[in-house]
């Protein structure tokens, strides 16, 4: 009897080891102000038990889960840190769903171990390894926390050692579980020339999904950016708000599932649409990063967190300089030749911008690129238009004192091209079905290494021929239709890998480009703003927001983009899209980003030219504050008849403020009240000067007056915006 008891005791001790480990493991992931807490339960499953303010006593994190009643396991909620499909204690949306080699479609993931370390770039990386107790299948959850930015990057590595391929039907990057009560989601719809249109959704019970299935040009209809207020609506300065995006160049899905207990389950990752991935043994699959911040001081702080993080840790040359430019797209479209272009270089010089950017239409001979129906893919210079080639243009621009940049769209092909004739198998299409075109073009198959070499070659050849080429505008105008790759077919790789391998192919081309040409600025463009993900912004210095350059539309669009991107990334051009708006309004709006012009400079009146020159000089004077400073949104055009934003340098000695009329009605409320400034030093004294004025124009702003920061932030300053002063740019400088 005694020995049986002893045996039972030993067995109990042995069996209780994993359980007690499970009960005891608390994993806090912390930044300055935010903490995510993961904890194992009595079954050794990893749960997300807390997402909120960080605590000063780290020992208290292990109690955070105890004060919530999660009603997990078998009920309506499940706070798993990575929800699985196929075992019966999970009824919520899975983050991962697999079919094992033996056909079994269940997965259970138990906590195995975790590590926390400092990364070379200064973040804290926590990796938690989860293992299936039955199959040799492992998921490493990664959380990279940027302490002073309150930004977290989350992704996973999925691996196995089964004897064959495991099919991943779903493989999300992140799974979060929130216990707040009143969720307001802002997501963004779009279309060509209508990018980043915000939509607010009050999340109640059920599933709300933001997703893209376009393959390329993936943000055309939906943006992967989101803003989620957790406890009722937040404002610029108050409320708890989570903001971020899935950093993936391809199909994405962000799922927001609210349960009966008002808990919110977020699953974010590559869109599983047509994308079952057959994972070989010992071949880790890394998901893209889900990147977010949590602010307890409203949207303004959230934006500054993301903008700072992007500039310091993700964006190519985020701390560097950018080139102002004159572009010829709207000035000439396809209708130009060598002489005409050279005659435009003088305009760039006269305006005082750094560079001339040659847009579409400079290439292809057998099927010349005279409109968008032919020539795409044939990257030889068009001899008829440009007999002396690109090197001549580069030299001629440089002689004029401006740098030279060029447009390419290397991922695409027109059926009417030599490239298509010579390599029909390089094109994504369903051989047995009619081809479907978008802007008369098709997408090249970047899963194919030969195509990757070709795309790399387009850039490499340009730089080899023109070592001083200063800039590339990389366009991408078509989504993927009829998704089928003859390369994958030849290689016996499932077609359902197409979207993932396309994106990886593109990324590997960009890695090669950046290994050889690390810093040359490149603009990411996609038939307007079809691409702006943080993943591509590792390789690009800036992006094109939209082909819509109507300045009134732009005020709203730039406002929306500003939640996620710093001004240094946003290319804004002054064009004739909306000539009814004054040149001043157009320039002032375009100045709130990376300034460019796309006009026939020689057609400007002398007075307009003088004005434009002055605005470029002003821009050069304040661009450092704009590009590298802190941004504050002051007056929301969605709630007022004007918009107002400002940028302040780190020392709080210099700032620039932009205000724009957005409602031309007589009843519009604009200059009736002052605008309260933000981000200044209350104890400093500031001189306020209006800039971007026409010669001889008098400003109602008294340039002699000096205000304290306290006054400007508490009482405010009135830029006096009205229909006669539809845009006002103010320079703010501290005085001794
Ligand atoms: C796209 C871009 C434009 C321009 C044209 C050229 O539409 O968004 O800026 O470059 O292509 O064809």
Residue 627 reports pLDDT greater than 80: yes
What does the pLDDT read at residue 4? Answer: 41
State in Å: Cα 482 to ligand 1 middle: 23
**How far is residue 308's CA from residue 303's CA, in Å, rounded to a whole number?**
8
Q: Is 330 in the pocket of ligand 1 (CB under 6 A)?
A: no
Q: Whose CA is nearest to atom 6 of ligand 1?
A: 360
Residue 139 binned pLDDT confidence (cut-offs 50, 70, 90)? very high
Residue 312 reports pLDDT greater than 60: yes
DSSP, res 411: T
What does the pLDDT read at residue 261? Answer: 85
What does the pLDDT read at residue 580? Answer: 86
Average pLDDT over the chain reads 95
State in Å: Cα 231 to ligand 1 middle: 41
DSSP, res 346: H
pLDDT digits (tens, 9 = 90+) for 379-437: 999 999 999 999 999 999 999 999 999 999 999 999 999 999 999 999 999 999 999 99
**How far is residue 508's CA from residue 487's CA, in Å, rounded to a whole number?**
17
Q: Across residues 643-667, what is the average pLDDT?
A: 97
Q: Across residues 249-267, what is the average pLDDT?
A: 95
Q: Is 325 in the pocket of ligand 1 (CB under 6 A)?
A: no
Alpha helices in 204-260 (DSSP H): none
Task: For 84-141, give the DSSP string.
Answer: BSSSTT--SPPSEEEE-TTS------EEEEEEEEE-TTS-EEEEEEEE-SSSSEEEEE
Q: Where are the beta strands (DSSP E) in 212-328?
A: 225-229, 241-247, 252-258, 264-270, 277-279, 285-286, 289-295, 325-327
Residue 507 reports pLDDT greater than 60: yes
Closest of 361, 408, 394 to residue 469, by C-alpha? 394
Residue 90 binned pLDDT confidence (cut-offs 50, 70, 90)? confident
Among 371, 475, 544, 549, the mutation site with the greatest number of ligand 1 atoms within 8 A of its Cβ is 475
pTM exceeds 0.85, yes or no: yes
For the chain, what is the total number of helices (H) and then of strands (E)? Answer: 13, 36
Residue 72 binned pLDDT confidence (cut-offs 50, 70, 90)? low
Q: Is 528 in the pocket of ligand 1 (CB under 6 A)?
A: yes
What does the pLDDT read at residue 1? Answer: 38
Among 334, 440, 547, the mutation site with the greatest number of ligand 1 atoms within 8 A of its Cβ is 547
Q: Is 359 in the pocket of ligand 1 (CB under 6 A)?
A: yes
pLDDT digits (tens, 9 = 90+) for 204-235: 989 999 999 999 999 999 999 999 999 999 99
State in Å: Cα 407 to ligand 1 middle: 9
From the CB of residue 572, how many other CB atoms can be counted at a distance below 10 Å? Answer: 24
Whole-number percent of the chain with pLDDT over 70: 96
Q: Across residues 180-191, what is the average pLDDT?
A: 96
What does the pLDDT read at residue 76? Answer: 61
**How far is residue 478's CA from residue 218's CA, in Å, rounded to a whole number?**
9
Residue 704 reports pLDDT greater than 50: yes
* Residue that the structure tokens 């002489």 belong to: 339
Q: Which residue has the higher pLDDT, 69 or 449?
A: 449
pLDDT digits (tens, 9 = 90+) for 262-300: 899 999 999 999 999 999 999 999 999 999 999 999 999
Q: Is 547 in the pocket of ligand 1 (CB under 6 A)?
A: yes
| CA end-to-end span of the chain | 91
State in Å: Cα 123 to ligand 1 middle: 38
Q: Is 262 exposed, middle or buried (0-12, 13-18, 19+ CB in 10 A)?
A: middle
User: Mapping DSSP to helix (H, G, I), strand (E, B) and coil, where does residue 251 land?
Assistant: coil
What does the pLDDT read at residue 69? Answer: 75
Q: How far is CA 309 from CA 32, 153, 161, 470, 589, in A?
A: 14, 11, 37, 26, 25
Residue 558 reports pLDDT greater than 50: yes
Q: What is the 3-state secondary structure of 49-97?
A: EEEEECCCCHHHHHHHHHHCCCCCCCCCCCCECCCECCCCCCCCCCCEE
Residue 6 reports pLDDT greater than 60: no
Which of 1-10, 247-256, 297-306 shows the lowest mean pLDDT across its residues?
1-10
Among 195, 472, 477, the mutation site with the greatest number of ligand 1 atoms within 8 A of its Cβ is 477
What does the pLDDT read at residue 7? Answer: 42
**How far is residue 185's CA from residue 204's CA, in Å, rounded to a whole number?**
11
Q: Is 407 in the pocket of ligand 1 (CB under 6 A)?
A: yes
Q: Across residues 614-638, what is the average pLDDT?
A: 98
Closest of 137, 55, 62, 143 to residue 96, by C-alpha? 137
Q: Whose CA is nearest to atom 11 of ligand 1?
A: 527
Q: Whose CA is nearest to atom 7 of ligand 1?
A: 527
Q: Is 414 in the pocket of ligand 1 (CB under 6 A)?
A: no
By the 8 A CB rule, do 182 and 231 touch? yes
State in Å: Cα 455 to ligand 1 middle: 18
What does the pLDDT read at residue 75? Answer: 59
**How far is residue 643's CA from residue 308's CA, in Å, rounded to a whole number?**
23
Q: How far is CA 7 from CA 3, 17, 20, 44, 527, in A?
A: 6, 16, 19, 24, 72
Q: Which residue has the higher pLDDT, 304 or 12?
A: 304
Residue 88 reports pLDDT greater than 80: no
From the CB of residue 339, how many other CB atoms can be counted at a distance below 10 Å? Answer: 9
Q: Is 239 in the pocket of ligand 1 (CB under 6 A)?
A: no
Task: For 576-616, give the DSSP string.
Answer: STTTTS-HHHHHHHHTSSEEEE-S-GGGS-HHHHHHHHHHH
What does the pLDDT read at residue 493? Answer: 98
């Amino acid at each position: 009897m005694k020995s049986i008891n002893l045996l039972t005791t030993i067995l109990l001790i042995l069996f209780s080891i994993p359980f007690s480990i499970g009960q005891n493991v608390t994993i806090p992931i912390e930044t300055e102000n935010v903490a995510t807490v993961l904890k194992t339960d009595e079954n050794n499953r990893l749960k997300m038990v807390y997402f909120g303010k960080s605590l000063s006593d780290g020992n208290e994190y292990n109690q955070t889960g105890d004060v919530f009643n999660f009603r997990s396991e078998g009920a309506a909620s499940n706070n798993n840190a990575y929800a699985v499909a196929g075992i019966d204690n999970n009824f919520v949306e899975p983050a991962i769903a697999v079919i094992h080699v033996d056909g079994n479609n269940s997965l259970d993931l138990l906590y195995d171990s975790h590590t926390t370390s400092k990364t070379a770039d200064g973040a804290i990386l926590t990796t938690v390894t989860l293992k299936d107790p039955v199959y040799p299948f492992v998921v490493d959850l990664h959380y990279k926390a940027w302490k002073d930015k309150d930004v977290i990057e989350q992704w996973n590595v999925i691996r196995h050692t089964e004897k064959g391929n495991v099919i991943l039907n779903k493989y999300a990057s992140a799974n979060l579980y929130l216990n707040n009560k009143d969720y307001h989601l802002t997501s963004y719809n779009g279309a060509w020339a209508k990018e980043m249109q915000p939509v607010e959704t009050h999340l109640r019970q059920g599933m709300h999904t933001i997703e893209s299935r376009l393959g390329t040009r993936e943000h055309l209809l939906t943006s992967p950016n989101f803003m989620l207020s957790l406890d009722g609506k937040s404002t610029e300065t108050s409320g708890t708000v989570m903001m971020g995006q899935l950093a993936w160049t391809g199909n994405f899905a962000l799922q927001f599932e609210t349960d009966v207990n008002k808990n919110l389950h977020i699953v974010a990752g590559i869109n599983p649409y047509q994308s079952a991935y057959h994972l070989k043994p010992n071949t880790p699959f890394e998901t893209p990063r889900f990147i977010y911040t949590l602010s307890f001081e409203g949207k303004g702080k959230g934006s500054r967190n993301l903008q700072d993080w992007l500039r310091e840790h993700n964006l190519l040359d985020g701390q560097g300089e950018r080139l102002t430019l004159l572009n010829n797209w709207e000035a000439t479209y396809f209708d130009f030749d060598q002489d005409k272009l050279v005659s435009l270089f003088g305009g760039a010089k006269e305006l005082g911008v750094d560079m001339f950017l040659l847009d579409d239409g400079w290439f292809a001979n057998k099927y010349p690129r005279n409109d968008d129906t032919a020539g795409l893919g044939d990257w030889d210079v068009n001899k008829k238009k440009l007999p002396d080639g690109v090197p001549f243009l580069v030299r001629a621009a440089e002689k004029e004192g401006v740098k030279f940049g060029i447009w390419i769209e290397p991922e695409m092909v027109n059926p009417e091209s030599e490239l298509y004739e010579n390599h029909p198998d390089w094109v994504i299409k369903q051989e047995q079905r009619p081809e479907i075109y978008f802007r008369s073009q098709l997408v090249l198959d970047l899963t194919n290494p030969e195509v990757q070499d070709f795309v790399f070659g387009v850039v490499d050849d340009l730089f080899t021929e023109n070592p001083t080429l200063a800039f590339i505008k990389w366009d991408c105008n078509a989504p993927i239709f009829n998704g089928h790759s003859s390369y994958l077919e030849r290689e016996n790789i499932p077609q359902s890998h197409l979207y993932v391998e396309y994106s990886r192919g593109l990324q590997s081309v960009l890695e090669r480009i950046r290994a050889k040409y690390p810093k040359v600025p490149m603009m990411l463009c996609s038939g307007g703003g079809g691409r702006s993900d943080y993943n591509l912004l590792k390789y690009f210095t800036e992006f094109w927001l939209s082909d819509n350059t109507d300045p009134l539309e732009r005020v709203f669009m730039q406002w929306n983009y500003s939640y996620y991107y710093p001004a240094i990334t946003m290319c804004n051009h002054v064009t004739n899209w909306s000539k009814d708006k004054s040149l001043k309004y157009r320039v002032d709006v375009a100045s709130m980003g990376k300034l460019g012009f796309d006009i026939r400079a020689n057609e400007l009146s002398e007075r307009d030219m003088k004005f434009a020159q002055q605005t470029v000089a002003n821009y050069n004077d304040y661009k450092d504050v704009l590009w590298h400073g802190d941004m504050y949104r002051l007056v929301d055009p969605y709630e007022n008849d004007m918009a107002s934003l400002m940028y302040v340098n780190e020392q709080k000695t210099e700032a620039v403020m932009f205000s724009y009329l957005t409602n031309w009605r007589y009843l519009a409320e604009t200059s009736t009240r002052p605008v309260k400034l933000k981000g200044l030093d209350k104890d400093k004294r500031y001189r306020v000067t209006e800039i971007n004025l026409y010669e001889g124009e008098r400003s109602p702003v008294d340039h002699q007056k000096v205000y304290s920061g306290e006054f400007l932030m508490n009482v405010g300053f009135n830029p006096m915006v009205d229909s006669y002063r539809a845009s006002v740019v103010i320079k703010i400088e501290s005085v001794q």
